[in-house]
Amino acid sequence: MDFEEKTVKRELIYQGSIIDLFLEEVLLPNGQKAKRELVEHPGAVAISAFTKDQKMIFVKQYRKALNRITLEIPAGKIDRTDQDPLDTAKRELEEETAYQADKFYYETSFYTSPGFADELLHLYIAEGLTKVIDPLPQDEDEFIELYELTFSEAWAAYEAQEICDAKTVYALLMWKLRLLAEESEAI
């Protein structure tokens, strides 16, 4: 079966600084027409940053879409200043945490909400952190607080639903898998 939906008509509904919203009329595989509300996003990065004592860095911030405070790994969108995801990861880590890293490792990329958005998020691991004396400034509309948590502390925050976004849950689960692999190698 052919699953492709062919675009018949495309209309820009909203053009913003972070996203663009389109309304598309599509032709379904069965010949019927349907409407799709689609978000175009430039992409983003997230960073699992580890201190020398193997704590992961998190930022606490208010998320208006959820009307609540969350605890997340540092992240940000790819923009015109640095369209390469690794360059964006380096910038975002410094802006949000005042840290730079000696080593960045690419972990994976995934689409955050493919039912309506094309945002592709690139996840990196950062190690060998050093504090920056004069870091890049945070975004003007960003108010965050920094936390360095052990795995147990982070898992407790997840169980308390303070960690609730997909990228951070994914990073936490990958951390758990790495710890389990280290345990099994030690046996």
Supply the residues annotated as catalytic.
140
Give the angle 92-160-44 at the CA atoms, nearest 5°. 20
What is the distance between the alpha carbons of residues 147 and 93, in angstroms, rounded to a whole number? 13
Number of C-beta neighbours around residue 10 at 10 A: 12
**Six token digits for residue 38:** 């689609």
Residue 104 exposed, middle or buried by CB count within 10 Å (0-12, 13-18, 19+)? middle
Number of C-beta neighbours around residue 8 at 10 A: 11
What is the distance between the alpha carbons of residues 128 and 119, in angstroms, rounded to a whole number? 29
